[in-house]
Amino acid sequence: MASILELRAVKAFYGQSEVVHGIDVAVEEGGMTVLLGANGAGKTTTLRAICGLVKSEGEILFAGERLDRRTTEAIAGLGVAHVPEGRGTFVGLTVEENLRLGGYTRLSAARENIQRMYGYFPILAQRRRQQAGALSGGEQQMLAMARALMMSPRLLVLDEPSFGLAPRIVEDIFTIIERIRQEEKVSVLLVEQNASLALELADHAYLLETGYIVTSGSAKTLADDPQIRRSYLGY
Ligand SMILES: Nc1ncnc2c1ncn2[C@@H]1O[C@H](COP(=O)(O)OP(=O)(O)O)[C@@H](O)[C@H]1O
Ligand SMILES: [Mg+2]
């Protein structure tokens, strides 16, 4: 199957400091790829490199276009939607105002998109007039994903959507991600510390350690790997 996103020998930097050391990663069109790894491994930085938020070297190819050398806005405009760590919603705005900001489209189209998002996330419809800052952690994650989906991206980049959420909420969130992937025909690149759930849903997986890919393969292969099981799955 064809890749929608391909990283070739990608390095990423904070100033002079290189924290991702030449990695190769591919996301199949319509698929879900997960990037696993301990705290500090470079997962967030890799996503930031894709989205043009940190300095990078190497090639980042998205649907035949080079993303490296483009601005963050241009990358978003090509159809890459990033839901960052910590979610990045506007806490002082209402749920619906947040969704309108994610729109990038005509008013009528924005209205339709908002209704589509309320279909995936009914709780957000109930909370539409509430300030985003007053939402629970799970609701904020849903709002952040809904905002990202407003522009009908081709690739959804999610940084630890389960972070800080109760297990039951995490399951809800992952169920919705899987439904959205199928119904929106969007490809997903997921960063997760919750390896067991992520490996159930993803087709491909990469394990990042201190800025290097140390293992990669089908999610099933990684889920069966004794070392991965011991270090990341806990059984
Ligand atoms: N803004 C930053 N400035 C300098 N170094 C950073 C910054 N953010 C992260 N780092 C460093 O880069 C490395 C990778 O971090 P990160 O990509 O956030 O890891 P992960 O998301 O896998 O936990 C870590 O050593 C971290 O300390
Ligand atoms: Mg991170």
If you average pLDDT over every residue of the chain, what do you get? 93
Atom of ligand 1 nearest to the CA of 47: 17
Ligand 1: which residues within 6 Å by Cβ? 14, 19, 37, 39-45
Taking alpha carbons only, the member of 26, 73, 85, 20 closest to residue 49 is: 20
* 103 domain-assigned: no
Please report, for the domain that includes residue 75, its CATH number: 3.40.50.300
* 168 domain-assigned: no
Q: Give 221 Cα–ligand 1 centroid separation in angstroms.
A: 28
Q: Whose CA is nearest to atom 4 of ligand 1?
A: 14
* 177 domain-assigned: no
Most ligand 1 atoms within 8 A of CB, residue of 17, 18, 19 to mutate: 19
* 126 domain-assigned: no
* 120 domain-assigned: no
* 19 domain-assigned: yes
Q: Is 177 helix (H, G, I), strand (E, B) or coil?
A: helix
Q: Which residue range is the domain that position 11 belongs to?
A: 1-79+155-163+187-235
Pure H helices in 35-166: 43-50, 72-77, 95-101, 107-120, 122-126, 137-149
Number of domains in the chain: 1
pLDDT of residue 1 exceeding 80, the answer is no
Q: pLDDT tens for residues 165-205?
A: 999 999 999 999 999 999 999 999 999 988 888 999 999 99
* 85 domain-assigned: no
Structure tokens at 102: 């994610």
> Sheet containing 17-28: which strands, arranged edge to edge?
17-28, 3-14, 55-62, 65-66
* 42 domain-assigned: yes
Bridge partners for 23 per DSSP: 10
Q: pLDDT tens for residues 62-71?
A: 999 999 999 9
Q: pLDDT tens for residues 92-145?
A: 999 999 998 866 566 677 888 999 999 999 999 999 999 999 999 999 999 999
- The pTM of this model reads 0.94
